[in-house]
Structure formats: C-alpha cells, structure tokens
Amino acid sequence: MDAKTIIAKRVAKELHDGDLVNLGIGLPTLVANHIDADITVHLQSENGLIGLGPSPELEHVDLNLTNAGGQPVTLIEGGMYFDSVTSFGIIRGGHVDVTVLGALEVDAEGSLASWIVPGKRVPGMGGAMDLVVGAQKVIVAMTHTNKGQPKIKTQCTLPLTAYRQVNLIVTELAVIAVREDGLHLLEIHPDTTLEKVLALTEAPLHVKTYTKMEG
Amino acid sequence: MINKQKYLDRQTFVKHLFDGMHIMVGGFMTCGTPEQLIDWLLESNINDLTIICNDAGYPEAGVGKLIAAGRVRSLIASHIGLNPIAGTKMSDGTLDVTLVPQGTLAEQIRAGGAGLGGFLTPTGLNTPAEEGKERLEVDGQPYILERPLRADLALIKARQVDRYGNLNYAKTARNFNPVMATAAKLVCVEATERIQVMDPEVVITPHVLVDYILAEVRDGR
C-alpha cells in the first residue's frame, strides 16, 4: 500500500456517523474512498455545497458543479448548494465537525504552515485559514517527511496557516495527537519502528503506550 | 415592466469603464465567472484595474485573461495557485497581490454590501493575514478587525434572469456572485437564460440590486 492510501484509510477511521466533514485538495480528497459503508458522512466543499458525491463520468461533467479545486464533481441526494458567505458561516461558525488538510509543516504546539513558501511558491491560503480555525477537529494528513526532512517540527519555520489549531496528525508512519503538553505518539505503522519514527520527527514526542496503526 | 435601459450592450458597458476602477468578479476557479463581460473589458482600453475575485482564474480563463493582458494593477484574492502568470507577475512586481482568507474575503464583501463598518474574525490570528490589522478582544477572545470591501463595478454570472432583473444561480456557480451583487456601485449581470417572471421563492438576488443585464450567454470558458 502506498503512503497516500495508508494515510487516507487511517484518517477515514476518525470520521463518525453524521459528521460534517471538509476534505482538502490532494491527499485528503482520497479519504472519501475509504469511509466505512455503515456510516453517513456529509462532505462539504467550501465553494458552496454539502453532499459531495463521486467524480462524474466524462459525459456527465457539468461546468457549473465543481469542488474547491475546480474539478468536476457530483451532488448526492439530500445535498444542496449555497453561496460563499453561507459556506464560511458554516465553517467559521463551528458547524464543520472535522476538517482534513495537508501541510508543509506542523509543530509541537499544533500550529501549521500550508499556504506559502516565501520566494518560491505562493498559492495562497484559500479557505484553509477559516477551516482550521472553525472546525471542531483539525486533522493534518501528510507524508511524514519531505525529501527525508521532518515536517513535524519543534516550531514551524514557514508562515503559519493558524496558531495552535491542529488536533491530530496522520502520516504513513504514525498517528500523533496534539495536546496541551505537546505531541503524543498514539500509533505507529506495523512496517516501521519507534526508532525510525523518532528519528524522522523533529518535535519531541511523548511516548508512553502506543498501538499498531490500523490500515 | 423592466426599464429598457437595463439591457446591456457592449457600447453601454464600455461607457461605464474607467482606468483604475475597482471591479468585483464572481466565480470560483472560473466556475460562475461572467466570461463575456470579461471579454468586453479586454476589448476596451481600460487599465490599472483593481480586481477583487476569489482567485486568479487560469491564464486563459476568468480574470486570468485580464492579468495575462497586463490590465490589472492589484488583485485581492484568496488563491492564485492555478494561474502561474499571476505568480510570476507577483514575483516580478508587476502585479500587486493581496491574499486574503476566503471566508474573510466573502465577509468583507458582505460587510461592504450590508453597510457595516467591518467585522471581527478569529481567522488569521498569529499569521501573516493579521499583519497591519487591529486586534480586539471580546469576552476575553481575540479577533482581527477586518474592514469592508466595496467596488465601482461588479460582474455577476447568473443562471436565470427574469424581466424584472431577479436572479438565481446554477449549482456551485453561485459562490461569490450573490454577495458581490450587493457591494458595488454598478452591478452588471451575464445570465445564461432569460425567463418571464421568476418564482418569488427561488429568487436569490432581488432585482433592486441589479443595474444591467446581458442575457442568453452560453456557459463555460
């Protein structure tokens, strides 16, 4: 199983029946493929819908129905459309149960950086700053390292998306909770070792009891 | 009966344009962007525009066409990642880009259209989005004071328009369009379909907010 699939499958286990969930562009979108068939999760796309369905076949593509990445999508029964003000009222107002997004860096205090690499890449924050401040639970879904360098830092070095908003970090190697006293290792992937996880994590980890990460 | 002057043609549209004007453009990654009105802007010779839009579109679509043609001095947006030309122009200093969190951008426009002096949001605290802004506390919680946004002109894409100028929108092409229709001195609408009278229950934008209508324009870029 590749890293992205491992991460997506594990994040899907954090979702509960009835949750309103926003999945970010890229890896987080894959989480939708692994949601337990026995539960109903309402997916929001911040450009203005709840009830996100699977990608359409080419002949059913509707230019007026896209996700926040501008890709064609479908709407499931019970779903609806709304404008951007309503969408961010839902987001900032605390009505989104879980937001899942990628990050360039996350730190020991639960701050994250995801929207700019000064002098290199300046895509912009889009809706990410509102989502991580407004959602009840913030899950960062990302690969553990970037070209071998740790992305889980003692302190973020890139400009922040938000200060102290992350609740859980899920990578292909580990599941890490952010608490008042720092980062707690909850699970490690069966194919890795504690030593490897510690070596690839810059931030200090509290390691007491951890379990095998479920794929 | 609708006043005949409400129907828009190219000459009438161009008469209202001037250099340096601030223009809001509806749409999200060009879904719900009025491409015909943008083309008329391109065909005019106005320059030094300040564009307020969710994003920078693509190099060949949406406000990206205006950026590529060098007609935009300033862009206020939440995201420019799908338009590499905007990124290049931002880096070389030929385009002034203000990146704003998407929810803050929507609410700034709402405040502008609703006569509010601004609003308080927790979004962006302790990030570059807070720089140069005032922080206020309410009941012990910190917030950023964000100011309203208004514009000289709003370009809106609607699904249907009736003969009074009432509007509704198609699916996720709604996005920033209804709020932008509240926040500009002049509101010009490009609609896909013209109908006689809209069911009052499905009107999203009341006709009193609309100045000019260009109807029966095909969707898409």
10-residue mean pLDDT series, chain B (221 residues): 72 97 98 97 96 97 98 98 95 96 98 98 98 98 98 98 96 98 98 96 97 87 50
Residue B46's domain spans which residues? 4-117+148-214
Residue B144: what pLDDT? 98
Rounded CA separation B102/A159 (Å): 17
Where does the pLDDT of residue A204 fall: very low under 50, low under 70, confident under 90, or very high at 90 and above? very high
Section A79-105 average pLDDT: 98
Report yes or no: A125 at the B interface, CB cutoff 8 Å.
yes
Where does the pLDDT of residue A215 fall: very low under 50, low under 70, confident under 90, or very high at 90 and above? low
Residue B184 maps to a domain: yes
**Among candidates B175, B161, B174, B176, which has minimal Cα distance to B206?**
B161
Rounded CA separation B33/B35 (Å): 6
- E-strand stretches of chain A: 20-23, 42-45, 49-53, 74-81, 98-101, 105-107, 112-113, 137-141, 145-146, 149-150, 152-153, 168-170, 174-179, 182-188, 205-206, 211-212
Residue B48 maps to a domain: yes
Q: Do A162 and B125 touch (CB under 8 A)?
A: yes
Residue A30's domain spans which residues? 3-212
Q: In CATH, what number is assigned to the domain containing residue B17?
A: 3.40.1080.10
- pLDDT of A61 over the 80 cut: yes
- pLDDT of A209 over the 50 cut: yes
Residues 6+ positions from B44 with CB-CB distance below 8 Å: B14, B17
Q: In CATH, what number is assigned to the domain containing residue A118?
A: 3.40.1080.10
Query: How many separate domains does chain A show?
Result: 1
Q: Which helix (H) or strand (E) holds A125?
A: none
Residue B1: what pLDDT? 47
Lowest-confidence pick of A116-120, A161-165, B132-136, B202-206: A116-120
Query: How many separate domains does chain B show?
Result: 1
Phi and psi (nearest 5°) for A49?
-150, 155
Q: Which helix (H) or strand (E) holds B97?
A: strand B96-99
DSSP classification of residue A58 = G
Contacts with B169 from chain A: Cβ below 8 Å = 81, 83
- pLDDT of A39 over the 60 cut: yes
Active site residue A46: yes
Residue A104: what pLDDT? 97
Q: Do B78 and A125 touch (CB under 8 A)?
A: yes
Q: Do B123 and A75 touch (CB under 8 A)?
A: no
Residue B52 maps to a domain: yes
Section A87-97 average pLDDT: 98
Mutate to test the interface with A, among B144, B172, B180 (most CBs of A within 10 A): B172
Lowest-confidence pick of A83-97, A157-171, B205-219: B205-219
Residue of A62, A70, A124 with shortest CB distance to B99: A124
Residue A120: what pLDDT? 85
